[in-house]
Homo-oligomer: A and B are copies of this chain.
Amino acid sequence: MDKSESTKIEMGESSKLERKLGKAPLLGSPSHAISSAVVPTKRAGNYKRGIAIFDLILRIAAAATSIGAAVGMATAGETLPFFTQFFQFEAGYDDLPTFTFFVIAMSIVVAYLVLSIPFSIVCIARSHVIVPRLLLIIFDTAIVTLTTSAAGASAAIVYLAHNGNQDANWLAFCNQFGDFCQTTSGAVVAAFITVVILLILIVLSAIALKRH
């Protein structure tokens, strides 16, 4: 009986202690400290899982826009029914080396984005693993540079095709090849959308790395 009484008193004390700890968590016992450390880790885990799911969605969107850009540019072509003094019958992406670079670069970007989807899924399944996330941020940065250089270079050429340049005596050919110009412009816009999505992906990855 004496033993059970002492147990009762102990329980009462511990519950009092717990109530006190609830108001002053900084002075908590070791066990309380552990339990309070577990809660933010779980929250951070959910937070990181949310970022990883958003990462996957954006990655699929980026793959879609880059496929659009690559296919759009590769299939852009126009055959004129007549012959003019300055231009040939046909216009295709392979007439301009910059557009060829664009098609090759965007194909690499598409391949990378498709291959990176499994890594993104690993980041969802194991949100605390940082090696795939670090690999993703490094390769994303390299790929965003490739995409931007292709998009920037093609934008310069598309601008020239639309407006020409009097000082260099380069004439615009969009009057003749309107459809070709429209398609290539669309491809360049799609490439810039890919760039923006990739930028968001990099920022998200950096935030996910920070919260580790």
Q: Which of A20-28, A34-42, A150-158 contacts B (4 or more CB under 8 A)?
A: A150-158
> A79 on the interface (CB 8 Å rule)?
no
**Are the C-beta atoms of A167 and B96 separated by less than 8 Å?**
yes
Q: How distant is A61 from chain B, measured CB to nearest CB, in Å? A: 18
Stretch of A11-19, A62-70, A118-126, A199-207 at the chain-chain interface: A199-207
Contact call A141/B87, Cβ cutoff below 8 A: no
Of chain B, the residue at the smallest CB distance from A137 is: B206
| Interface-lining segment among A1-9, A50-58, A106-114, A168-176 | A168-176
Q: Which of A81-139 contact B (CB under 8 A)?
A: 86-88, 91, 95-98, 130, 134, 137-138
Q: Are B155 and A206 in contact (CB under 8 A)?
A: no
**A193 at interface, CB cutoff 8 A:** no
Q: Which of A141, A154, A168 has the most CB of B within 10 A?
A: A168
Contact (Cβ within 8 A) A97 B159: yes
CB of A149 to closest CB in B, whole Å: 4
Q: Please, which residues of chain B bring their CB within 8 A of the CB of A170? A: 160, 168, 170-171
Closest to A92 in B: B167
- The yes or no answer to A145 lying at the interface (CB within 8 A) is yes
Known: A156-B153, A209-B206. A95 touches B167 (CB 8 A): yes
- Residues of chain A having any CB pair with chain B under 8 Å: 86-88, 91, 95-98, 130, 134, 137-138, 141-142, 144-145, 148-157, 159-161, 163, 165, 167-171, 173, 195, 199, 202-203, 205-207, 209-210, 212
* Nearest 7 interchain pairs by C-beta: A152-B152, A149-B152, A153-B156, A95-B167, A148-B148, A152-B153, A170-B170
A-B contact pairs, 29 of them (CB 8 A): A95-B165, A95-B167, A95-B168, A96-B165, A96-B168, A97-B165, A98-B156, A137-B202, A137-B206, A138-B206, A141-B141, A141-B202, A141-B203, A145-B145, A145-B195, A149-B149, A149-B151, A149-B155, A152-B156, A153-B153, A156-B157, A157-B160, A168-B173, A170-B170, A170-B171, A206-B206, A206-B209, A209-B209, A210-B212
